[in-house]
Each structure stands twice: as C-alpha cells, then as structure tokens.
Structure 1
Amino acid sequence: MVDRAFADLELASLYDKLNPWGPDDDFYLELVMAAGSVLDLGCGTGRLLRGARRAGHRGRLTGIDPAAAMLVQARRAGPDVEWVLGDLTTHPWDRAFDLVVMTGHAFQELLGDEQVHGTLRGVRRALADGGRFVFETRNPAARAWERWTPDRVYEITDGDGGPVRVWHEAEPAPAGDRVTFTETYAGARWKKPQVCRSTLRFLDAAALDGFLGEAGLTVAERYGDWRRGPMAPAVPEIITVATATDQSSDPFSSSSFSAGSSTTSSSR
C-alpha cells in the first residue's frame, strides 16, 4: 500500500514545496554526479535525478517508485530521465547500476522484515560488482517523533498560490520500532482538512548491519549527519554507504534471486 500523501495527486504536487532542496540533496547529488549509472529507489517526484541532469550528468539515470502520483510530478519536470512505476520485485535489474540511492527516509517505509530483505536483495542484484548502495534512516536514539506535534505548523502555497498549512502528530508511544503519525493538510482548496495516516520503522545501526549483511552488502562508511559527521548516540541520522562485492557466488544473484514483499512508498 502507498501512503495517501504520495498516492493523492493534489498532495503529491505539494511534496517539493513541503520538502525543499536541502543538505541531504547536496550530499546525494555529489554521489550521483560521480557515478555513471544510477538508480533512485523510491524516487518520489524525481528531484534528485532532475537536479543531476541539470548539473550535467550524461549517464543513465533511472527513478523507480510505487506511487503513480509522485511519478506524474517527476515526468512533468524531468522527461530526460527514465521513470518506472513499481519496485525491485516488479522490475529486477541485474548488475545494471554503479550506484543505488534511497533518499528522503524512504527506507523507513519498509515495515516488515520480508520487505527489508526483498528490497536489499533487489538492490544487491541491481548493483554492479563494487557498486554502492547509499541510504539514510532517522536514528531512533534521537527520538525525532517526539517533535512531531501539531504546534509545529508548516505554511506553503499550492499551485494556485493559495495558502496550505501542514502539521504532524505522532501517537503517544512507539509500537516496538514502529511509529505511527498523522500528517494533516488544511487550506481553502479542501472543504475539511485532509488527514493522512502513516507508519515508519526506526531501525538502529546494528539491526541495519544485520539486514545488509544477509543481503550480501558490506557497510563501507557511516555518518551521523549530512556534513559527514561521525556516528554518535543522539545524532539525527544513520547515513549508510554499503558496497556490493563479487556476486558470482551469491545465492541471491541471477536466476536464484527471490524477492520479498514490495516496497511501500517514497520519500519522507
């Protein structure tokens, strides 16, 4: 299932205004520009790959996302990029990319172990030997959800210039490593506020390492913020750079590949 915030055309059209270009985009853009072929997994509106084209990237750029409404935005603004509807279970690539990225905390949309396993095995298969998979998750120790409160209101404008107010509210306590919250949109274009309910999974570094290792991916670098600061107990991010080694002997490569459940949604 795709979260309503990404499946609804009106709400998807507001995504880039609600999430403007920032230090995380700069971090990923540098990596994309240094790679010949790139897959953006959960690409959303395609902002990163569109930025890479504008910056002069001439190699293969492919974005894939299960939310059709988000890809509508991507195709309108970036016709010179390959946009694919689906996920790595519906479109498995075999050693086709030097770099796979998963930005905007999209990894946290993978709620079940089988979703994580299936996605990471798909990433491993898509990467050429020596290729890199780079993604980030919010550090659970930083407890970001405690700041998702209705008093923190974001004000943006819609496509017609009308004001839109957006706020978040997390449920009082996490359910294990999962946090459920609402995202509410209010503005004159709607008769009543539009409420989207979502759940994210907060995995710590040790859990991530276990999943990556089982998929045949090795952690090469890890940072705690977008300035490449070191990991520490309460840093906001867990930014992981993982590498794929020789896949010739890997049980998940080629015809023996078995994907798990599909990915759920795009960036957040």
Structure 2
Amino acid sequence: MIGEDGYFGEGVARRYDESSSDMFLPGIVDTAVDVLEDLAAGGTALELGIGTGRIALPLSQRGVKVRGIDLSRAMVARLHAKPGGGAIDVTIGDFSTTQVPDTFSLVYSVFNTITNLTSQEAQVACFRNVARHLAPGGRFVVEVEVPEIRKLPPGHRIVPLYTSPTQWAFDVYDTATQSMTSNYIEVVDGRGENQSIPFRYVWPSELDLMARLAGLRLFQRWGGWTRHAFTHESTKHVSVYEKAED
C-alpha cells in the first residue's frame, strides 16, 4: 500500500543517500550546482522534489536562497536533519499543483524527478505550475534521461539495470502509454524484498511542447551539466526553459 509519502516513504528515505551514492559525488554535484547558481543570477530558487537535499544544500551554501516542494515527509526530514538543512523551507505536496507564496528566478527539477509524475496531464500541469512561480525572465531547468527504449529488443519490454547474487534491478516499459516501472529485488538473510516504482518517460520534444503550452520557451539544451552538446547519442539532457519578460 502506498502511504502519504508516495513511493518515497521511510523505507526508501532511510537508504536513499546510500543507494544513490554515485549521484552525491562532489564532481557530479558541484558541476550541477555551478550551472544552477549561474542561472539563478543572484535570485531565489525553487526545487521540485527536493528530497534529502543533494542539490539544495550545496546550492544554498553558495548563497542562493532555496525553497522546495516534496510529497515525502520522510525524505524532507532527512534534509532538515543535515547541517544547514533546517534553514531550507519545504512545502509538502505534489509539485505539479502545490503552490508557494513567492516567485523565483530559478525553478529546477533534477535526476529524472519529472518522470515521477506518471501521466502526461500531470507533467503538463507541472509546467503550468512552474510558470506561475517564475518571475519574468526566470528559468526552469529540467534534468532527465532520454528514454532508453532503443535498448529493447523487438518484442521485449524489460531493460536490466544491474544484477548481483543478492540484488536485481530492471525497468519494464509500456511504449503504448510511455509508462515504465523500476523494479528492485534484494535478498537479505534469505528473505527477498521487492520494490516497484512507476514513472512516465518523456521525450525532449514533448517537454518543449509542454513548455510552450505554459508560456515558456526553450532557452538552451545540453547533454549534461558540463554544457556539452546534446546529440542523438546523448543519454540524458539538461534543458533550460525561459519565461518571457513582461
């Protein structure tokens, strides 16, 4: 049963930083924060799905005032328990619809967070919600993987992620609905545990259309936080959308 924290309840929150440890490496975090600090341009920032503060904490340490929206109280509790985390204001709620009483020069969604919205309607609503929160000239940054369906052999729906004697992980795709689930199986002391989390993968061009529906325009797109070119071989993209000046 899914609780009030969605799919990121206490069990996930407790292990999240460790299970995503590669994404916490200084080289990865610092490169992303460099870009976000630059785009904030001395203004304030709002993170969608702020989680345990992987990006928000170092960005706030650069002097950028950061607020957050997140559905999971368990994840936010870990953010607030970290040094400096208590100073970051977080509103609990669905970031596709939840509003905070401020406007921002930067709103950002990193590490595939937008795919946690499992319908096209919710993703469109997210862009419209972002537009409401952006000051004129403000930017919306989305970091998300390019859908990996090229890895699917004809007639297959499963992409393996990793295997070990005690751990297995795989994604299951439905190309008719653009839905997918990430599945994790772990055996501890002879007992198996399974977790399945739903997502909706989304194409770059589809995101661009969502942005246009919300009154935003594509400002820049890179193949990653180092701002290298986005090509047909890119496995992810960092897309920057802009709200027009009044």
TM-score range, shorter chain: 0.7 to 0.9
AA matched with 2:35? L
Q: How many residues align?
A: 231
* Structure 1 position 40 matched with structure 2 position 47: yes
Q: Distance in 2 between matches of 1:153 and 1:98?
A: 44
Q: Distance in 1 between matches of 2:62 and 2:94?
A: 24
Q: Distance in 2 between matches of 1:221 and 1:58?
A: 24
Structure 1 equivalent of residue 243 of structure 2: 244
Structure 2 equivalent of residue 152 of structure 1: 163
Q: Flag the structure with more relative contact order, 1 or 2, with Cα contacts below 8 A and sequence separation at least 6.
A: 1
Q: Deviation digits for residues 174-226 of structure 1, max 9, x if unmatched?
A: 444222231234435xx733311122222222111111110111111101233
Structure 1 equivalent of residue 125 of structure 2: 118
TM-score (norm 2): 0.81
Q: Distance in 2 between matches of 1:185 and 1:198?
A: 15
Gaps of 5+ in 1: 155-164, 248-268
The 1:231–1:148 alpha-carbon spacing in structure 2 relative to 1, beyond 3 Å, is: same
AA matched with 1:33? E
Q: Distance in 1 between matches of 2:95 and 2:200?
A: 19
* Structure 1 position 86 matched with structure 2 position 105: no
TM-score (norm 1): 0.75
- 1:1-268 pair list within 5 angstroms: 3-4=6-7, 6-7=8-9, 9-20=10-21, 21-22=24-25, 24-34=28-38, 35=40, 36-53=43-60, 56-77=61-82, 78-88=85-95, 91-93=98-100, 96-140=103-147, 143=150, 148-149=159-160, 151-153=162-164, 166-171=167-172, 174-188=175-189, 192-246=191-245
Q: Distance in 2 between matches of 1:144 and 1:193?
A: 28
Gaps of 5+ in 2: none
AA matched with 2:217? T
Q: Distance in 2 between matches of 1:198 and 1:144?
A: 20
Structure 1 residue 172: Cα displacement: 6.7
Percent of aligned pairs with the same amino acid: 24
